């Protein structure tokens, strides 16, 4: 218990440290840009960063990490939330944290290490009075500014795996394809089960979250993905990478495939489930998952492909996540 | 805001705004200009695409209600997806009251145009074509509305889909009229949908012409109230090129109209010619399933008067020679599996309609256990069937 309390204090201090540093820089988030009606032409207009090129956040902007992250061609992701002064998050079980109006979620995608790091794009989700708005911002070559890229775009990058790819920045509508439930834009990342209990506790201590919910941090950390039982890792991976569309009310609801963490029904998660509208995406296989037979499972076929029309997820990757495939493969192989 | 100001603001927002027309000409940056216009359009706006060819390397999408996307004609305004690098379809529509008219989508890597949860959509005078002919590497669906209420697809052409040219899935209140579908695996497919009118289409050179399916394990089931009327279903003779694993991969070459499961299908006043397996096939769902909500039987299917020409003369069925010999060189136009959930809901035929039955005893039974024989049903002179189709408001929008 004492250790836990110590960690909590340390985490709270860390949050405070970020705040203090940003205060020194004198930056300030523009609530008008977050809450207003239009689409600000530059990322700088929001003031989310004290030093955007170095990704140093402004006051009220808090960094977070996910236990199991969504894979995007191996991009490094720098994640932040912004909470307006005097507001806080509300826990809602192990699911998505509830954000106050005026909040924002900011995610920067980068490739390259150390001095070689290049920021490619920053995506923002703005919680406005009439709902969430998702906007993509593309960094310039000089790394001095990120400009609104409503129509998305493509950037040549080399992934950490050494593959040269055409990386796709999503357009504004494609943002919604994944961030959509029953037609409305919603956040998908910050679910209590996929955030560390420690971070959540620090947020409570800092007065930015009402309480630490049951089930906080219950999804496994992806760090040790090569070891340990495959089932929780694979289910967490599918939940985080696939279930924002493959769920009731999601963009792929018509497929009937439901890959959410909490879905326990075998047919719904794909076991002996026939394809509906997969077309050649089925790859000649009859079922999404055949227990014990990853090479006969459509799920693996589509995860391994990079061909548009076959590759899953449809958006957000141009290369194959070999570690992700290996875990899901192991899960299916061990399945009886 | 005081109450009066609020009322004034509401009045303003309720008044019809002047629709803007945004014109996109082919040329430098056209793909990005088009996608930006689709994003920035206001409800009621028209996006007009000029004559010519626009190459796209990513999928397009529209998420604004009430927008019209209009080209100069299906052979004049061409959106070319031959070098598509991402997305599962050429154009994705996720908003309501959208009209798409007068352009072509060529060689999308996945589906052609998909609309999901997009109510009251009109597809008019469009072309979706895989220009290399029928290939299993072609995308699955050409025109693909799903999970929608109010769908009108008309005067359009789809060529080369490796599943269905026009596929309407998990939807209600549908009209598919006056289209040409050729060299697809399935010409037109109505799946897990209700209240669909499929009329005056030409379905030719597909593997199967018109399909009406109800499948288990989907969010929306209970397909039915479908009318196939006044269509020309001719020479559907393309070998099945669907990738294995898909339900249409089981469709036999030379199938005219195929009803699988469903409650209420009326087939009348169509012209069937040159469908070598069967002009009309009515069967139960054959695969094992574990879904208590699902009914695998074809119920309340009525085959009214139709013009049946040559057909059934090269059936892609086991025991073909024996069957042809038994029926005098060609099978009669209607093939039924003989399965009825109840005597009342069993297949009904108009006077003069002939056929044969597999005389199966239960859904999922092997065809090897069939006891083929002539269709011995007492014809019915009259029947009742609801009027179905897209809402009148959709037809009105065309005027």
**Per-residue pLDDT tens over the stretch A29-38:** 999 999 998 9
Residue of B nearest to A248 (CA): B219
Chain B residues 217-246 with CB within 8 Å of chain A: 217-220, 242-246
pLDDT band at residue A27 using 50, 70 and 90 as cut-offs: low
Using the Cβ of B167 and the Cβ atoms of chain A, whether some distance falls under 8 Å is answered with: yes
Decide: residue B334, CB within 10 A, 0-12 exposed, 13-18 middle, 19+ buried. Answer: buried
Mean pLDDT, residues A179-206: 93
Query: Hey, are the CB atoms on B218 and A251 less than 8 Å from each other?
Result: no
pLDDT band at residue A11 using 50, 70 and 90 as cut-offs: very low
Phi, psi angle pair for B9, to nearest 5°: -65, -40
Token pair listed for B150? 């109010």
Contacts of B144 (CB under 8 A, 6+ apart): A277, B89, B111, B112, B113, B114, B115, B167, B169
Alpha-carbon span B315 to B330, nearest angstrom: 8
Alpha-carbon span B119 to B125, nearest angstrom: 19
Instruction: Tell me how far CA of residue B292 lies from CA of A63, A148, A311, B289, in angstroms.
Output: 47, 49, 32, 9
CA-atom Rg of chain B in angstroms: 22
Quickly list H helices, A179-295.
197-205, 230-242
Residue with tokens 């003779």, as numbered in its chain: B237
Residue with tokens 């693909």, as numbered in its chain: B144
Mean pLDDT, residues A32-57: 95
Mutate to test the interface with B, among A154, A169, A254 (most CBs of B within 10 A): A254
User: In percent, how much of chain A has pLDDT > 70?
Assistant: 91
Find how far residue B223's CA is from the centre of its chain: 13
Is the distance from CB of A80 to CB of A12 less than 8 angstroms? no
Q: Identify which has the larger pLDDT, B17 or A66.
A: A66
Is the distance from CB of B276 to CB of B251 less than 8 angstroms? no
**pLDDT at position A10:** 44
Averaged pLDDT of chain A? 89
Phi, psi angle pair for A109, to nearest 5°: -110, 130
**pLDDT at position A295:** 96
**pLDDT at position B15:** 42
Beta bridge partners of B80: B55, B106
Facing residue for B219 by CB, picked from A171, A253, A309: A253
Phi, psi angle pair for A53, to nearest 5°: -60, -35
Decide: residue A38, CB within 10 A, 0-12 exposed, 13-18 middle, 19+ buried. Answer: exposed
Facing residue for B290 by CB, picked from A173, A267, A283: A267
Query: Hey, are the CB atoms on B140 and A277 less than 8 Å from each other?
Result: yes
Facing residue for B63 by CB, picked from A151, A152, A173: A173
> Looking at the predicted structure, is the pLDDT value of residue A268 above 80?
yes
The per-residue pLDDT for range A85-140, each reduced to its tens digit, is 999 999 999 999 999 999 999 999 999 998 899 999 999 999 999 999 999 999 99
**pLDDT at position A17:** 45
How confident is chain B (399 residues) per 10-residue block, as mean pLDDT? 43 56 96 94 97 95 96 98 89 97 96 96 98 93 97 98 96 98 98 97 98 92 96 97 86 97 97 98 92 94 98 94 93 96 95 95 86 94 95 90
**pLDDT at position A281:** 85
Contacts of B111 in chain A (CB under 8 A): 277, 279, 309
The number of beta carbons lying within 10 Å of the beta carbon of residue A296 is 18
**pLDDT at position A272:** 94
DSSP states along B206-236: SSEEEEEE--SSSSS---EEEEEES-EEE--
Is the distance from CB of B382 to CB of B266 less than 8 angstroms? no
The whole-angstrom distance between B307's CA and the closest CA on chain A is: 33
Instruction: Tell me how far CA of residue B392 lies from CA of A38, A178, B150, B190, B295, in angstroms.
Output: 36, 34, 10, 20, 31
Q: Is the peptide bond before A313 cis (omega within 30 degrees of 0)?
A: yes
Contacts of B170 in chain A (CB under 8 A): 254
pTM of the model: 0.88
Decide: residue B9, CB within 10 A, 0-12 exposed, 13-18 middle, 19+ buried. Answer: exposed
Contacts of B242 in chain A (CB under 8 A): 279
Domain segments of chain A as ranges: 2-205, 222-334
User: In percent, how much of chain A has pLDDT > 90?
Assistant: 76
pLDDT band at residue A182 using 50, 70 and 90 as cut-offs: confident
Token pair listed for A304? 């391994």
Mutate to test the interface with B, among A151, A275, A290, A307 (most CBs of B within 10 A): A151
Alpha-carbon span A90 to A212, nearest angstrom: 9
The per-residue pLDDT for range A209-228, each reduced to its tens digit, is 999 998 899 999 887 556 77
Q: Which stretches of chain A sit within 8 Å of chain B by CB?
A: 150-154, 166, 168, 171-174, 176-177, 180, 183, 248, 251, 253-254, 256, 267, 273-286, 298, 307-310, 314-315, 318
């Amino acid at each position: 218990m004492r250790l836990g309390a110590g960690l909590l204090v340390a985490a709270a201090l860390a949050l405070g440290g970020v705040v203090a540093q940003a205060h020194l820089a004198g930056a300030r988030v523009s609530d008008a840009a977050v809450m207003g009606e239009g689409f600000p032409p530059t990322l700088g207009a929001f003031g989310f960063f004290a030093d955007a090129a170095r990704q140093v956040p402004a006051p009220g902007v808090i960094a977070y990490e996910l236990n199991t992250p969504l894979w995007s061609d191996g991009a490094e992701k720098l994640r932040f939330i912004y909470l307006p002064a005097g507001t806080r998050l509300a826990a809602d079980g192990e699911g998505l944290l509830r954000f106050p109006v005026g909040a924002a979620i900011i995610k920067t995608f980068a490739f390259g290490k150390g001095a070689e790091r290049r920021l490619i794009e920053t995506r923002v989700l703005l919680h406005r009075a009439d709902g969430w708005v998702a906007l993509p911002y593309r960094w310039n070559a000089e790394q001095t500014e990120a400009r609104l890229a409503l129509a998305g775009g493509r950037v040549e990058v080399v992934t950490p795996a050494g593959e040269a790819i055409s990386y796709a920045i999503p357009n504004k509508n494609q943002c919604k394809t994944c961030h959509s439930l029953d037609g409305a834009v919603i956040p998908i990342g910050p679910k209590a089960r996929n955030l560390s209990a420690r971070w959540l506790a620090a947020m409570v201590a800092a007065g930015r979250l009402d309480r630490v919910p049951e089930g906080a941090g219950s999804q496994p950390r992806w760090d040790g993905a090569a070891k340990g039982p495959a089932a929780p890792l694979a289910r967490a991976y599918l939940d985080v990478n696939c279930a924002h569309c493959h769920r009731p009310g999601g963009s792929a609801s018509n497929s009937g495939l439901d890959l959410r963490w909490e879905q326990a029904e075998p047919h719904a998660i794909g076991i002996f489930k026939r394809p509906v509208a997969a077309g050649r995406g089925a790859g000649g296989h009859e079922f999404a998952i055949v227990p014990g037979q990853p090479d006969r499972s459509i799920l693996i076929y589509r995860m391994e492909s990079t061909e548009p029309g076959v590759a899953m997820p449809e958006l957000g990757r141009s290369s194959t996540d070999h570690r992700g495939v290996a875990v899901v493969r192991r899960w299916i192989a061990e399945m009886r | 805001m005081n109450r009066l100001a609020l009322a004034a603001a509401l009045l303003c927002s309720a008044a019809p705004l002047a629709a803007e027309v945004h014109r996109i000409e082919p040329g430098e940056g056209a793909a990005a200009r088009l996608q930006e216009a689709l994003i920035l359009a206001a409800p009621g706006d028209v996006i007009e695409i000029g004559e010519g060819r626009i190459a796209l390397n990513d999928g397009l999408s529209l998420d604004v209600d009430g927008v019209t996307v209009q080209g100069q004609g299906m052979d004049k305004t061409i959106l070319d997806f031959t070098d598509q690098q991402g997305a599962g379809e050429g154009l994705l529509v996720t908003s309501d009251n959208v009209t798409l008219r007068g352009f072509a989508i060529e060689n999308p890597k996945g589906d052609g145009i998909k609309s999901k949860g997009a109510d009251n959509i009109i597809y008019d005078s469009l072309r979706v074509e895989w220009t290399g002919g029928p290939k299993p590497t072609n995308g699955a669906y050409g025109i693909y509305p799903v999970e929608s209420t109010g769908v009108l697809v008309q005067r359009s052409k789809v060529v080369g889909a490796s599943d269905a040219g026009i596929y309407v899935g998990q939807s209600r209140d549908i009209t598919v009229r006056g289209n040409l579908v050729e060299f697809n695996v399935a010409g037109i497919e109505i799946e897990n949908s209700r209240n669909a009118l499929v009329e005056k289409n030409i379905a030719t050179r597909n593997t199967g012409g018109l399909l009406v399916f109800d499948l288990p394990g989907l969010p929306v089931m209970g397909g039915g109230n479908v009318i196939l009327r006044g269509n020309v279903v001719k020479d559907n003779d393309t070998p099945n090129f669907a990738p294995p694993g898909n339900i249409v991969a089981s469709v036999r070459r030379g199938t005219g109209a195929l009803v699988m499961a469903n409650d209420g299908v009326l087939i009348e006043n169509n012209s069937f010619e040159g469908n070598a397996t069967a002009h009309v096939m009515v069967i139960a769902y054959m695969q094992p399933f574990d879904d208590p909500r699902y009914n695998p039987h074809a119920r309340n299917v009525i085959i009214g008067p139709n013009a049946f020409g040559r057909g059934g003369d090269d059936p892609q069925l086991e025991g073909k020679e024996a069957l042809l010999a038994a029926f005098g060189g060609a099978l009669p136009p209607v093939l039924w599996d003989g399965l009825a959930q109840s005597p009342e809901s069993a297949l009904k035929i108009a006077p003069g309609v002939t056929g044969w039955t597999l005389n199966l005893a239960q859904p999922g039974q092997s065809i090897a256990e069939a006891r083929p024989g002539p269709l011995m049903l007492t014809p019915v002179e009259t029947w009742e069937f609801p009027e179905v189709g897209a809402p009148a408001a959709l037809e009105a929008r065309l005027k």
